[in-house]
Amino acid sequence: MKTTMMFQNKLIPVYLTDTNKQAIEKLTAVLNRKLTTGKNALKTCIKSLISVEIVGSEATLHSYFERDTLTISLY
């Protein structure tokens, strides 16, 4: 399933394997928290975010540069 979310004044496509609405809410909370308290590599990835893929309890953050792509846990 594909949906979008508004993050940092950008529409980001989010790809889900199931229709878990809590996953998107958790993703938004985690991204906001990591943007302020995360390490530099994670902040760089979040700032250049182009799409997110959620599988189970993990979210793969895809950025403009392939080397910045990371996977984070939502729970």
Phi and psi angles of residue 29, each rounded to the nearest 5 degrees, phi first:
-65, -45
Alpha carbons within 13 A on the beta-carbon side of 9: 0
Q: What is the pTM of this model?
A: 0.85
State pLDDT tens for residues 48-61: 899 999 988 889 99
Question: CA of 25: how far to CAs of 4, 7, 48, 66, in Å?
Answer: 12, 12, 20, 25
What is the predicted pLDDT for the residue at 57? 84
Which residues of the chain carry a pLDDT beneath 70?
Answer: 19-20
